Structure 1
Amino acid sequence: MRQWNRLLVETSEDARRRIERMHERWRAEVSAIWAIARPGGEAVGLIGWGDIDLSGGSAEVVYWILPAARGGGVVVEATKRVSQWALNDLGLHRLRLCHSVANPASCRVAEKAGYSLEGTMRSALLHADGWHDEHLHALVQGDI
């Protein structure tokens, strides 16, 4: 996770501040995050919408998953569900999903969830090892 997630959480205070920020962004209606849990209730990751623009009808799908839970389709299913909810129930028109081109697993998640690859954004995201190009995928009303 640390390879692709720029926000480090190294202490309980870091975690508390990050959760507080999630709550603030929820109240401001610019972000919404939920736990990804197995049927028994064990949390294995997060999924949500970032950069929500209710008046413009768009948001970015964001997620992370624990290494032990990868490869079983849980992120694909969670992505499909939050995407359907956003487009069909919330009334958004367009969702985007961006990831480093060096992260092929996220490319597979986007494709399996029905997102179309629209292009590559050059030097779009700074990671610990430098600037990364990012793939831009999108799902719009009518795609699902």
Structure 2
Amino acid sequence: MEPATLTTGRLVLRMVGPHDTDAVYAAAQDPEIQRWTTIPSPYLPEHAESFTEHLAPEGWANGSMLTFGVFLPEGELVGMLSITIRSLGAAEIGYWATKQHRGNGYITEATLTAARWAFTHVSVDRIEWRAEVGNTASRAVAERAGFTIEGTLRSALNNKGVRRDCWVGSLLPSDLGLPSTAPYLPTPPSPTPPAF
């Protein structure tokens, strides 16, 4: 798949490459990013190099993981966002923000932009979000972007060799006023059980 570049009024979302290695490495030194994501810890220069020179470009090339660096128009890195294809029509989103740019709504804006693009250009009909229970910043972004929180999955996330509970939520094309590529038949509400 050809890498896409997406823009908003404040952001540029584009594939990262070798010229971004130093910025990715510097951002990933943040203990919060290492704590709440599955990136290696400690995060070494070779991890950043592998990510920008191999993992991100190869994910685009084979269509399995579509990673966007989130940048200000002048080129400063404000975060990272990936859409990983999990099965036919279904993907999972993950993201992080650089420490100095948290609280500006950039990742929510990037999430909505990338989701609209995935729904209209990649034949995705469900984007799932997962985060370790306790990662309230990630959950706040998901909720602001319109994800429906569906529950807690026990022992469903492996972070650095430790199984952890995670929250799960989803965003559908209809949540953004977009059509689905396949028909969707939601479960009707259950009738009220009789009182005894």
Per-residue deviation, 1:35: 0.9
- Preserved contact between residue 32 and residue 49 of structure 1 (Cα < 8 Å): yes
Task: Classify the secondary structure of the residue corresponding to 1:46.
Answer: strand
- Preserved contact between residue 78 and residue 106 of structure 2 (Cα < 8 Å): no
After TM superposition, the structure 1 = structure 2 runs for residues 13-52 of structure 1, keeping only pairs within 5 Å, are 13-19=46-52, 20-52=54-86
Task: Classify the secondary structure of the residue corresponding to 2:39.
Answer: coil
- Preserved contact between residue 25 and residue 32 of structure 1 (Cα < 8 Å): yes
Where does structure 1 differ by over 6 angstroms across 4 or more consecutive aligned residues? Answer: none
- Preserved contact between residue 29 and residue 52 of structure 1 (Cα < 8 Å): no
Equivalent pairs, count = 142
Give the TM-score of the pair, scaled to structure 2: 0.67
Deviations 1:41-92 (A, max 9, x none): 2112111201354xx1111111111111111100000000001111133321
Task: Classify the secondary structure of the residue corresponding to 1:80.
Answer: helix
Amino acid in structure 1 at the alignment position of 2:169: H
Question: Which among 126, 131, 143 is matched to residue 163 of structure 2?
Answer: 131
Amino acid in structure 2 at the alignment position of 1:85: W
User: Runs of 5+ in structure 2 lacking a partner?
Assistant: 1-32, 177-196
Cα 1:85/1:22, change in 2 over 3 Å: same
- Preserved contact between residue 150 and residue 168 of structure 2 (Cα < 8 Å): yes
Q: How far apart, CA to CA, are the structure 1 residues paired with 2:48 and 2:103?
A: 26
Q: Tell me the equivalent position of 2:93.
A: 61
Mean Cα displacement is larger for which, 11-20 or 65-74? 11-20
Q: Is 2:120 aligned against 1:88?
A: yes
Per-residue deviation, 1:109: 0.6
Larger radius of gyration: 2
After TM superposition, the structure 1 = structure 2 runs for residues 113-132 of structure 1, keeping only pairs within 5 Å, are 113-128=145-160, 130-132=162-164
Give the TM-score of the pair, scaled to structure 1: 0.89
